[in-house]
């Protein structure tokens, strides 16, 4: 939730980047756990009636996510609920998404809504209002697609300015097929994603907080270590959100170059390797998630060099 400090009659909203930097330094972690609940993969004790209806499945997923939040809260700075898994369960799932976001906030965690929204005009403004507006807002930050151009991003920039929200733009994604578009060569020899990175950098310059980081960040796949270093050079003030460590094959060492702008200048997001660790370890699902999160927290902090 955006923090407000009263100064006379004015309320000043603390920038997302500053709130994040404070929490990273306080907890000594750059780890973000993605909440991707799939009813068929839930622990046996939660599956129960999940197969009977969407309502039962949504309830089970919420219980799973709440338990995960409790388990990993000491080791992470934020959670990243993936909206698609909740939307798949209909209206009950969407209500569950809202409940999980609120619960994570009560646990003292920042919430990054992984919705990957992207549109133009009134529709983009509606998306910004849905996730980053309101009092309190549904999430602290939102993932968006910038591939509709700079005008599609302006409502999200405005949300950052007005409410202290954060935004993470998809720049260089972790999936192999992303290269089919993002690596297309422009007339000046640069790959397309470099131009998108330049757009993110320019839009983010007006959103730099007191800690020197912008609330307008970028998603860069940890599965592309060289691109991580290039992204840091192209977007020196952006917070980089780095998926791909764990189940997708990247390691903490692959993202070390992302942290040259400070300990909070990058976040490593892990999902399956933490939330479904019990399927490998055979331990209690909360214990397994906590142990894996603690391990990754130590490794990421060590490679960050801070």
Q: What is the pLDDT of residue 29?
A: 98
Q: What residues are paired with 166 via a beta bridge?
A: 141
**Residue pair 224/254 in contact by the 8 Å Cβ criterion:** no
Q: What is the pLDDT of residue 9?
A: 29
Pairing state between β 266-270 and 141-144: unpaired
Inter-axis angle of helices 121-132 and 154-163, to 10 degrees?
30
Tallying the residues shown for the chain, one arrives at: 306
Domains of the chain: 19-304 (3.20.20.70)
**Residue pair 238/260 in contact by the 8 Å Cβ criterion:** no
Other beta carbons less than 10 A from residue 52's beta carbon: 9
Q: What residues are paired with 216 via a beta bridge?
A: 167
List the catalytic residues: 116
E-strand stretches of the chain: 4-7, 10-13, 31-35, 78-81, 110-117, 141-144, 166-172, 214-220, 238-243, 266-270
Q: What is the pLDDT of residue 125?
A: 97
**Token pair listed for 225:** 């270590």
Question: How far apart, in whole angstroms, are the C-alpha atoms of residue 199 and residue 223?
Answer: 22
Q: What is the pLDDT of residue 237?
A: 97
Question: How far apart, in whole angstroms, are the C-alpha atoms of residue 289 and residue 44?
Answer: 16
Residue ranges, the chain, pLDDT below 70: 1-12
Question: How far apart, in whole angstroms, are the C-alpha atoms of residue 146 and residue 284?
Answer: 40
Q: What is the pLDDT of residue 65?
A: 98
**Distant-in-sequence, close-in-space partners of 102: CB < 8 Å, separation ≥ 6:** none
């Amino acid at each position: 939730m955006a923090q407000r400090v009263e100064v006379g009659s004015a309320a000043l909203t603390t920038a997302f980047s500053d709130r994040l930097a404070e929490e990273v330094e306080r907890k000594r972690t750059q780890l973000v756990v993605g909440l991707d609940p799939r009813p068929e993969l839930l622990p046996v004790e939660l599956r129960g009636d999940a197969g009977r209806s969407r309502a039962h499945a949504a309830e089970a997923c919420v219980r799973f996510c709440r338990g995960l939040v409790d388990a990993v809260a000491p080791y992470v700075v934020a959670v990243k609920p993936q909206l698609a898994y909740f939307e798949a369960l209909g209206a009950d799932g969407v209500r569950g998404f809202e409940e999980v976001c609120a619960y994570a906030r009560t646990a003292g965690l920042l919430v990054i809504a992984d919705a990957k929204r992207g549109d133009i005009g009134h529709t983009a403004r509606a998306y910004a209002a849905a996730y980053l507006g309101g009092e309190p807002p549904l999430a602290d930050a939102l993932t968006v697609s910038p591939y509709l151009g700079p005008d599609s991003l302006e409502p999200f920039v405005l949300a950052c300015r007005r409410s202290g929200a954060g935004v993470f733009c998809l720049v260089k994604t972790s999936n192999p097929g992303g290269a089919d578009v993002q690596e297309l060569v422009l007339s000046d020899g640069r790959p397309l994603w470099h131009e998108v990175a330049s757009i993110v950098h320019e839009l983010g310059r007006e959103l730099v907080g007191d800690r020197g980081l912008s609330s307008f960040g970028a998603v860069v796949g940890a599965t592309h270590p060289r691109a991580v270093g290039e992204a840091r050079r192209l977007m020196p003030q952006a917070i980089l959100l780095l998926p791909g460590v764990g189940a997708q094959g990247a390691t903490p060492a692959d993202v070390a170059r992302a942290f040259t702008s400070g300990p909070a200048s990058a976040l490593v997001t892990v999902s399956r390797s933490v939330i479904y660790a019990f399927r490998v370890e055979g331990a209690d699902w909360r214990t397994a998630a906590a142990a894996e999160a603690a391990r990754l927290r130590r490794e990421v902090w060590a490679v960050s060099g801070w």
